[in-house]
Amino acid sequence: MNHKPIVVGVGELLWDMLPSGKRAGGAPVNFVYHAAQLGADGYAISAIGKDDFGAEILQELDKAGIRYQLSFTDYPTGNVLISLKDGNPDYTIVENVAWDHIPLTQESLDLVKKADCVCFGSLALRHADSRKTIETLLDAAPKEALRFFDINLRQHYYSKELIEKQLRRANIFKFNDDEILVLREMFALQGTDDEVCRSLLERFDLRYVVFTAGDKFSAVYTAEEKSFFPTPRVQVVDTVGAGDSFSGAFVYNILAGKSLKEAHEAAVRIAAFVCTQSGAWPAYH
């Protein structure tokens, strides 16, 4: 690739209210952080409130070197209450916040028209305002661009209709071992997890299906091949942002021309590193 790949994450930007204090986060922004750390030209598209939380999150983004196109709204900056059990997060997501109302701007349209990858999840689709913006941006991306749907099922913020509609827009689909149970029921999928992954790949004409099974393994599928790696054993501090770092590393390496196995291996390595650190944006050494 002759230029730095341009990756865009669109969706939630929020404060994770952890027992140890608040941390800036949101899956699409986490994704952008890690892709940019590895060498991509990364941008987050979201919305914040005209409040102290909004001003503080801007400082955090600047400090982390994350570039962004943010709109200021009359809604409060988002936050998520997180409790940790054995290092695993449990989320309570506050509703009707700024990132539920991401407006469509000419700047964001111009940006995605140049993008090599646009990453999005199901959470930011929960409100009609942001859903309309995200769908418009996805449709404006170049035909050959990666459209990375990291499903990120949270609470009750999804439906079969919503997931199916976005799967027809996406060409990479990522989900985990909890989410596959929902997908099995939702799409009446039979057989082993392996067969379910292949079935989704085929049914929605996807370029890649990414299946992560926490501390056990991860697998990536294309029509031609499958890559499988066991999850490395590490001293886990917390798993916040680990899945997003996997996504960012995988996409960056695919766009950089690496093979499926090389890209997958890099993703596994980065996600393991993030698990040994606190929060979603650890410094790369």
Cβ atoms 93, 157 nearer than 8 A: yes
Domain membership flag for residue 134 = yes
| pLDDT at residue 77, rounded to an integer | 97
The reported pTM is 0.92
Residues 6+ apart with CB under 8 A from 164: 187
Number of domains into which the chain is organized: 1
Q: Mean pLDDT score of the chain, rounded to an integer? A: 92
| pLDDT at residue 285, rounded to an integer | 66
Domain membership flag for residue 1 = no
Say which DSSP state 18 is in.
Answer: E
Domain membership flag for residue 68 = yes
pLDDT-based confidence at residue 155 (cuts at 50, 70, 90): low
Stated as kind and residue range, the H or E segment containing 85 is strand 78-85
Domain with 52 in it: 6-275
* pLDDT for 19 beyond 60: yes
Residues 6+ apart with CB under 8 A from 103: 47, 71, 73, 129, 133
Task: For residue 147, list its beta bridge partners.
Answer: 118
Q: How far apart are alpha carbons 62 and 58 in whole angstroms?
A: 6
**Pick from 9, 6, 10: nearest CA to 103:** 10
Q: CATH number of the domain at 204, please.
A: 3.40.1190.20
**Pick from 8, 282, 20: nearest CA to 142:** 8
pLDDT-based confidence at residue 82 (cuts at 50, 70, 90): confident
In three-state secondary structure terms, 113 is coil
Domain membership flag for residue 285 = no
- Could you tell me what percent of the chain has a pLDDT over 90? 76
Domain membership flag for residue 93 = yes
pLDDT-based confidence at residue 221 (cuts at 50, 70, 90): very high
Instruction: Write out the two tokens for 12.
Output: 């939630």
Of the given ranges (16-20, 34-38, 111-115, 248-252), which has the lowest mean pLDDT? 16-20
| pLDDT at residue 127, rounded to an integer | 94
- Per-residue pLDDT reduced to its tens digit, 169-197: 999 999 999 999 999 999 999 999 999 99
Domain membership flag for residue 284 = no
Interior angle at CA 121, CA 176 and CA 250, nearest 5: 60
Domain membership flag for residue 282 = no
Domain membership flag for residue 281 = no
- Per-residue pLDDT reduced to its tens digit, 23-77: 898 999 999 999 999 999 999 999 999 999 999 999 999 998 899 999 999 999 9
